[in-house]
Amino acid sequence: MADHKTGSHKKKPEVSSDDDVEIGGDVADSVVIHGDGNVIKIIEANDDDSGSSGDDGDNKKKMTNTAIIVALISLLGTIITVVANLYGNRAAPEPTATLAATHAIVFTETHLPTFTPTDTPLPEPTATRVPDTETPIPFTPTPAPVALGEDWKAGCVSRLWVPYPSTVSLSDKGNGCWREPANNFSAENGDLDFLYERSGRGALETYGLFAPLPDSGTLTLTIRLSDLDNVDLWVGVFAEPDVTSKGLLLVIPNGDVKKRTVLQKDPANYETLQGTVALNQGNGFTVSFVFSDLSVRGRVLPNVFTTNQIPISSERKWLFLGYKGLNGSYRIEGTFLNFTLTE
């Protein structure tokens, strides 16, 4: 008995929640107590160990059972304390906020924003004009007009010639010449040919070409006629490219081309001022004009007739070659040739 009492007052061993505690005694069955990593096993005593009898045996069993119960209670308290401490140290979960934050982060990192169509109408597309890009065009200089006197030799009616009346339009040939026929005139073999016929009724009309002259010089040419039916041939020098302006006008009147006169007429009223007797055409009628910056004088060669000096005070003077169709039908055909211009 003394030994049992002494044993019952011994210091209880400290039991960790992670240790297995094995307690022996007289129990009917084995008891397993589960904790946080703790296993307490009560093992039933062997029959061989219980051979003693009497009061000592009963007292021993009672003391043993009491010790077991105390140990169990102590162990259970330890387990409860450990478990309480473990759960008490954990932070209280915040499921709503944590989940919301977690889902927000995961959504942002793993998904692109989804376009949600609305009923707001989109603006109508507007056409924006793109300024046209100008393509550089290679510069091609326009050929200069062919010089007077050189143009006929080249089979060209130079762009220096201006049509009369001014309502007549000419087409540029692109080489310093007009496209022919230019107002019923065409250049060929150094000559300027002309041909025109009007049938039926018609009023007076004048057609021809004007060319600018230098400040002073002498111009000579020959007129060869094939037909001059009801039409007068004109040559003259004027202050402007206009037959109504101040000028000197020489006229070969209509009729038989084999023998014609050369007359000086007033451009303003078409009155005859003076002229030659009837002349045989032969190879043509040759006339010349001597001009300065103040006046002009005409001649019928060779020294047949000389006109009076006509004052023309203009910065530039103009040579006119043409014809005047009379009332009714008319026909004219001929050539200007042997053109020379000296300054």
Q: What is the CATH number of the domain that holds 177?
A: 2.60.120
Q: What is the pLDDT of residues 293-330, one digit of tens each?
A: 999 999 999 889 999 999 998 889 999 999 999 999 99
Please give the residue range of the domain that contains residue 56: 2-88
Same domain flag for 314 and 174: yes
pLDDT in tens, 219-244: 999 999 999 999 999 999 999 999 99
Q: Decide if 128 is inside a domain.
A: no
pLDDT band for 49, please (50, 70, 90 cuts).
very low
The answer, yes or no, to whether the previous bond of 121 is cis (omega within 30 of 0) is: no
Mean pLDDT of 238-255: 97
Query: What letter would DSSP give residue 26?
Result: -
- Tokens describing residue 261: 């006169």
One domain for residues 51 and 175: no
Task: Please indicate, yes or no, if residue 6 is contained in any of the structural domains.
Answer: yes
Those residues whose C-beta lies under 8 Å from the C-beta of residue 234, and which sit 6 or more positions away, are: 206, 208, 243, 249, 250, 251, 320, 321, 322, 323, 324
Asked if residue 57 is part of any domain, the answer here is yes
Q: Are residues 189 and 269 in the same domain?
A: yes
Residue 101 domain flag: no
* Residue at token pair 């039926």: 200
Q: Do 187 and 327 belong to one domain?
A: yes
Q: Can you read off the two tokens belonging to residue 294?
A: 């103040």
Question: Does residue 280 share a domain with residue 186?
Answer: yes
Domain endpoint, select from 46, 66, 88: 88
Both 28 and 169 in one domain: the answer is no
Burial of residue 227 (CB within 10 Å: 0-12, 13-18, 19+) is: middle
Overall pTM > 0.85: no
Q: What percent of the chain has pLDDT over 70?
A: 64
Q: Cα Rg for the chain, rounded, in angstroms?
A: 69
User: Is 126 inside a domain boundary?
Assistant: no
Identity of the residue numbered 293: D
Residue 45 is assigned to a structural domain of this protein: yes
**pLDDT higher than threshold 70 for residue 5:** no
**215: in domain:** yes
pLDDT single digits (tens) 80-131: 776 676 665 555 555 444 444 444 444 445 455 555 555 566 666 666 666 6
How many domains does the structure of the chain reveal?
A: 2
Is residue 145 assigned to a domain?
Answer: no
Q: Is 276 found in the same domain as 193?
A: yes
Check whether residue 199 and residue 321 sit in a common domain: yes
Please identify, among 38, 68, 88, the residue that sits at the C-terminal boundary of a domain. Answer: 88
82 with 175, same domain?
no
51 lies in the same domain as 181: no
Last residue in a domain, options 70, 88, 106: 88
- Taking all residues of the chain, what is their mean pLDDT, rounded to a whole number? 79
Better-predicted residue by pLDDT, 238 or 55: 238
2: pLDDT strictly greater than 80: no
Residues 163 and 83 in one domain: no
Whether residue 75 is found in the same domain as residue 181? no
Three-class SS state of 66 = helix
